[in-house]
Amino acid sequence: MNLAIRDIRHSLPRFLLTAIGIGMLLMIVMGMSGIYRGLIEDALLLVDKIGAALWVVQHNTRGPFAEISRIPLKMEDRLRAVPGVKFARAFVSHTIQRERNGKPLRIVVQGLAYPEDKGEWIPMTNGRCLGAAHFEMIADKSLGFRLGDNIPLGKNIYTVVGLTRGMVGQGGDGLAFFTVKDAIAIQFDNSGEAVRLERDARRSRAIQQDIGNIRPELLDRAALPNIPALAGPMVSAVIIQTEQGADIDKVVQTISGWQDVSVHTADNQRNLLLDGSVDKARRQIGLFRALLVIISAIIMSLILYTLTLDKIHDIAMLKLIGARNSVILGLILQQALILGGLGYTIAFYFGRWIFPHFPRRVIITTDDLIWLALIVFAISVLSSLLGIWKAMSIQPNEVL
């Protein structure tokens, strides 16, 4: 019988507990890799799903994901006139926090350029796309809404007509899709008292200026809900899809000549996200992952060294009866590989059960599993060296 297997059977409960401990540690390493992947996936989700060729944002900004961007809604009309542009649609995205069932609820409000964009590209699990210009929404299941729920936001009530899964923002908060006008209404909602105070403030400013005395009719107009001096609604960006065969560089060059906006390609938006808003979190998770791999190697080395110390009498007896060094080396190395393999298996199956319950997405790819298997193999071999060194230093006469 194989000596490694026989020794494991001799102290099976202890070996299994050790393997479970190693498995839990490897599961954390696997989870860190999955969180790292999930962080990148969530950050790039909208950029990849929308599939826009160009993003037009406020001048000298890296918006709408890396920083705040505000451009007028009428920018759509200007961009449609650019040669090579197939369509231009407003993009509105902002985060709100409300309370539901006594708990805080964060929602990423996403505007769709209805009726051109009804949300057909959204992966629906239940319900339908938007079918009206107002008061309908599509929600991610992570928000806890059900089909047909009426959700009060601002001064209006919105009905959940569709549900999706896996559509979250950079912070892991669920997305809710509205028409652009509804998204703007939610973003710039003000209480009646705030509106009244703003009108009084406009009238007061007009009184203090000469134009208010020269043209008294402006005082009456200042109390109206809107005045010509106020700008129209603002959006986060305008997305552009170019015509087939159009030279995208010429389109970019044309828009770049405008002094009130900046234009970014889809690749630029991805790079801005990865090198900007999620860069520190990405590097921090990568550092934790590297530290956990090193800690795993150290712990496995100490465990195998301890297991070797428990077999000093047996190893000395083997040497006394003339056993070759290769037999003793095989005993320790095989136990290290069995321990690593068993720990990896526990990490894999336990992780598959627990990772879906994490608050943020944990994405484990086949490449990650292969790399982790190779790392576990390397850790098992390297960690066995400490036990092998101790076994080789044992003298046969120690059996006495």
Contact criterion met (CB below 8 Å) for 55 and 266? yes
- Poorest-pLDDT segment among 177-191, 280-294, 378-392: 378-392
pLDDT of 113 reads 87
Give the tens place of pLDDT for each residue, 134-144. Answer: 899 999 998 98
pLDDT, position 320 = 66
* Torsion sign over Cα 216, 222, 224, 226: positive
Query: Helices 312-320 & 325-354, crossing angle to 10 degrees?
Result: 150
In whole angstroms, how large is the CA radius of gyration of the chain?
A: 32
Please give the structure tokens belonging to residue 144: 């806890």
Give residue 229's pLDDT band: very low, low, confident or very high (50, 70, 90): very low
pLDDT (tens digit per residue) in 251-306: 888 898 888 888 988 888 888 887 776 778 778 888 888 888 888 778 877 777 77
DSSP class of residue 173 equals: P
Residue with more model confidence, 265 or 324: 265
Phi then psi dihedrals of residue 323, to 5 deg: -65, 140
In this structure, is the dihedral angle defined by the CA atoms of residues 317, 323, 329 and 332, taken in order, positive or negative? negative
Q: What is the share, in percent, of the chain residues with pLDDT greater than 90?
A: 10
Residues in the chain: 400
pTM to 2 decimal places: 0.74
- The answer to whether residues 187 and 146 touch, using CB atoms and an 8 Å cutoff, is no
Outline where DSSP puts E strands in the chain: 54-58, 71-72, 85-100, 103-112, 124-127, 136-140, 150-153, 156-164, 175-179, 234-235, 237-242, 261-265
- The pLDDT of residue 335: 80
* Rounded average pLDDT over 52-73: 85
Out of 8-12, 247-251, 396-400, least confident range = 396-400
DSSP 209: S
Q: Are 110 and 187 in contact (CB under 8 A)?
A: no
Residue with the bigger pLDDT between 306 and 315: it is 306
Mean pLDDT of the chain: 81
3-state secondary structure of 65: coil
In three-state secondary structure terms, 11 is coil
pLDDT over threshold 80, residue 178 = yes
